[in-house]
């Protein structure tokens, strides 16, 4: 096996009282290694991913030379949205030098012959080129997977941003970061970064291999084949060691989802919040109990679409938590996962980007919602009809949804849904489409009053 395929990935979680240590190791094509380490505060607060994203980084050469300290590297941590492959792909080898991503905006770092070099520069920004790279054409749009490279080639400094074709509504079945690069945004300097050429969109890249994805560049670093799910499970196991907060959401057929979170200990409470509990704690586990005495079925908390559990007495916050679970067509669901046909496990789908809480829906859908004066709700749900699976977002009147006063959330009836369907158990999905009929939501009734929704169990 070639050296660049032999990689070591260690995502270590040390069960200490207040922090965990992340360690990510990437192997470069010439056998050198990048090691990143970062401490993680105990998960706490509204957001379960409140960990540091700054990693102490060092380079270990293939010849056993002394390590080279690179300082801090800032990037998304592995249990937010960045995977090990996405993180390692930021490091690459070119012309004998190892290149590392920036610790701050405008910084470029490289290691050659055991010495670290750091360059600071501000390439020219061109609004027209930026608009070209992000134009909204449904068939020819380009998107940035987020990878930038810099290299010195003779007397010319080169900076390139990777671009890939983004077919709105037609890329759903593919991993976005595995899409082949088609162009780059390129800018040059011949006076050591004092001035820069206007950036151009070109398929003639100097630094990237066009036709190959950002994660599969021949000169890029790679991690081992490991799943982040293992890391998440370990971190949740650490949370489960603490004092538990339990919320039970009961379905119309009397089955229940049991959700647990971690309450901090007294020492942490005094240190972090003066003895006061925060309004929410992280979600540690979800289980489904079909009937009293039946064995519980574990559900992946990542698919429950819940940020945390409320610490206050039973009230509206608990109702909102339970609103994310329900019974549709006789199938129990919570968030975007549902009970499998054999009744023994909850199906975990690898949902495409377009139906995973998109920042914005596709342009055609967005235009349609504007014409209908509707807005997307946050209670996405999934169900099954025979072998056909449907995922739906409820749609609410824009005027009603935007009518919040103070802390009071308006109660708005469902006016339709956006639905995507799968005929192959979630391997591929149709484009989001508007419908006035729903498999899950009763039109005319608010999400909080849906007949199939779960309710907070009072006993």
Give the chain's length: 459
Does residue 129 or residue 342 have the better pLDDT? 342
pLDDT digits (tens, 9 = 90+) for 293-314: 889 998 888 777 776 888 878 8
The pLDDT score that the predictor gives to residue 239 is 56
Return the higher-pLDDT residue of 426 and 147. 147
- The pLDDT-based confidence of 78 (bands split at 50, 70, 90) is low
Average pLDDT over residues 271-292: 77
pLDDT band at 173 (very low <50, low <70, confident <90, very high): very low
Q: What is the pLDDT of residue 377?
A: 82
Give the closest residue to 392 by CA, choosing from 342, 438, 324: 438
The residues pairing with 413 across neighbouring beta strands, listed in sequence order, are: 446
Helix (H, G, I), strand (E, B) or coil at 110: strand
What pLDDT is recorded for position 126?
A: 58
> Between the ranges 271-275, 330-334, 378-382, where is the mean pLDDT highest?
330-334
User: What is the reported pLDDT for 284?
Assistant: 80
* Cα-to-chain-centroid distance, residue 343: 28
Identify which of 269, 297, 268 has the alpha carbon closest to the alpha carbon of residue 285: 297
Structure tokens at 194: 């004092």
Least confident of 200-214, 225-239, 305-319, 413-427: 225-239
SS3 track for 353-396 = HHHCCCCCCCHHHHHHHHHHCEEECCCCEEEEECCEEEEEEEEE
Report how far residue 459's alpha carbon sits from residue 218's, in angstroms, rounded to the nearest whole number: 59
Q: How close are the terminal C-alpha atoms of the chain, in Å?
A: 59
Cα atoms found within 13 Å of the Cα of residue 325, Cβ hemisphere only = 32
Is pLDDT above 90 for 233?
Answer: no
123-127, 271-275, 362-366: least confidently modelled range = 271-275
CB-facing half-sphere around the CA of 56: CA atoms within 13 A:
9
31-45, 105-119, 396-410: which range is least confident on average? 31-45
Find the mean pLDDT for residues 383-394: 91
Residue 130's pLDDT is 56
**pLDDT tops 90 at residue 404:** no
CA separation for the pair 420, 290 (Å, rounded): 28
**What is the predicted pLDDT for the residue at 300?**
81
Q: How far apart are CA 434 and CA 418, in angstroms?
A: 5
**What is the C-alpha separation between 314 and 320, in angstroms, rounded?**
11
Mean pLDDT in residue range 362-378: 83
Instruction: Grade residue 76 by pLDDT with cuts at 50, 70 and 90.
Output: low
Q: Tokens representing 440?
A: 């899950």
Dihedral-angle region of residue 34 (phi above 0 means left; psi in -120 to 50 means alpha; beta otherwise): beta
User: Does residue 288 surpass a pLDDT of 90?
Assistant: yes
Question: Can you read off the two tokens belonging to residue 173?
Answer: 């079945």
């Amino acid at each position: 096996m070639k050296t660049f395929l032999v990689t070591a990935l260690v995502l270590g979680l040390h069960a200490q009282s207040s922090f965990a240590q992340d360690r990510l190791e990437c192997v470069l094509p010439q056998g050198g290694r990048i090691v990143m380490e970062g401490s993680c505060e105990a998960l706490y607060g509204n957001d379960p991913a409140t960990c540091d994203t700054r990693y102490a980084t060092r380079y270990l050469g293939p010849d056993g030379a002394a390590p080279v300290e690179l300082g801090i590297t800032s990037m998304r941590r592995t249990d937010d949205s960045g995977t090990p492959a996405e993180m390692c792909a930021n490091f690459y080898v070119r012309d004998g030098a190892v290149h590392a991503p920036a610790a701050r905006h405008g910084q470029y770092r490289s290691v050659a012959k055991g010495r670290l070099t750091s360059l600071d520069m501000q390439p020219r920004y061109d609004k027209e080129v930026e608009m070209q790279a992000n134009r909204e054409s449904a068939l020819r749009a380009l998107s940035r997977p987020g990878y930038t490279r810099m290299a010195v080639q003779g007397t010319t400094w080169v900076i390139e941003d990777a671009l890939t074709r983004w077919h709105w509504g037609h890329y759903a079945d593919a991993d976005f970061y595995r899409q082949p690069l088609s162009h780059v945004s390129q800018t040059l300097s011949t006076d050591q970064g004092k001035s820069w050429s206007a950036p151009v969109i070109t398929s003639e890249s100097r630094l990237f291999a066009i036709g190959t994805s950002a994660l599969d560049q021949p000169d890029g670093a790679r991690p081992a084949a490991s799943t982040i799910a293992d890391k998440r499970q370990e971190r949740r196991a650490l949370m489960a060691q603490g004092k538990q907060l339990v919320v039970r959401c009961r379905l119309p057929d009397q089955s229940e989802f049991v959700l647990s979170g971690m309450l901090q200990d007294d020492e942490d409470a005094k240190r972090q919040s003066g003895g006061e509990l925060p309004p929410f704690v992280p979600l540690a586990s979800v289980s489904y109990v079909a009937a009293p005495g039946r064995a519980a079925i574990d559900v992946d908390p990542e698919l429950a679409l819940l940020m945390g559990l409320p610490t206050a007495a039973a009230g509206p916050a608990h109702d909102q938590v339970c609103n994310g679970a329900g019974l549709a067509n006789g199938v129990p669901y919570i968030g975007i996962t549902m009970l499998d046909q054999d009744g023994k496990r909850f199906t975990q789908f690898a949902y495409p980007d377009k139906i995973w809480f998109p920042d914005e829906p596709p342009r055609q859908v967005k235009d349609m919602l504007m014409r209908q004066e509707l807005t997307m709700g946050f209670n996405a749900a999934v169900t099954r009809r025979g072998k056909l699976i449907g995922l739906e977002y409820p749609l609410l009147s824009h005027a009603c949804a935007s009518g919040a006063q103070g802390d009071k959330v308006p109660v708005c009836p469902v006016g339709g849904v956006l639905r995507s369907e799968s005929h192959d158990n979630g391997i591929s999905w149709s484009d989001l489409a508007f419908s006035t009929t729903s498999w899950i939501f009763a039109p005319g009734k608010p999400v909080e009053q849906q007949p199939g929704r779960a309710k907070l169990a009072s006993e």
